[in-house]
A = this chain, B = another copy of it.
Amino acid sequence: MKYEVELKFRLERAQDVEAAVLALGACEHAPVSHCDRYFNHPSRDFRTTDEAFRIRSVDGSNAVTYKGPKIGTVAKTRHEIEVGFDHGPDSLQKLDEIVRMLGFRFVREVRKSRRTFTLDVSGRDFELALDDVPGLGPFLEIELIAEADGRDAAEKAVWELAGKLGLSVPETRSYLDLLIESDGLVS
């Protein structure tokens, strides 16, 4: 079983962090736009169980993702399963309809622009995502994928890389939660 070990930081000056990431030798990939639709379960409350279920659309590619409860306290370590499905808006619409017919309750859409960087540090393949979330601003996510018995070491490595980039106080809430909170402040 694979686990995603992740730390996320709100950025004051995104350019500085980007420069630091590139200075470490990171490789930048093509930027993408994520549009995620989050759903709550028909008979349990994912805000209580700390799970997530979403349909992600990235420039015409579609996927469903299930995220299990967080295991780490600060670093978000959680079981994540993602599968791609047929491309395009028609398939997206069909899956959305299936999910709603099954009683899942639409919560909110989360959109972001993401620039992804990969970085090898001592044989570990980090993925860094420089996100711009409309309504929230810029963030950096640092992620490693680990097997169950490597979770602690992976969490330590993620913290170390954050330190090198001058980041120390992570944001533990999801973009979804931050946006819902922000909706509440506005309305």
Contact = CB atoms under 8 A, between A and B. Distances in A.
Contacts of A66: 97-98, 101-102
A166 interface: no
A13 interface: no
Interface residues of A, number: 23
A91 interface: yes
A27 interface: no
Given A86-B83, A86-B85, A103 B41 contact: yes
A16 interface: no
A95 interface: yes
Interface string A126-165: 0000000000000000000000000000000000000000
Contact of A91 (B53, B84, B91, B95): B84
A53 B66 CA distance: 18
Given A42-B43, A43-B43, A64 B101 contact: no
Copies in the complex: 2
Interface string A64-93: 101010000000000001111110000100
Given A44-B103, A103-B44, A98 B83 contact: yes
30 contacts: A41-B42, A41-B103, A42-B42, A42-B44, A43-B43, A43-B103, A44-B103, A51-B101, A53-B102, A64-B85, A64-B95, A66-B97, A66-B98, A66-B101, A66-B102, A68-B101, A81-B94, A81-B97, A81-B101, A82-B94, A83-B85, A83-B91, A83-B94, A83-B95, A83-B98, A84-B85, A84-B86, A84-B91, A85-B85, A85-B86
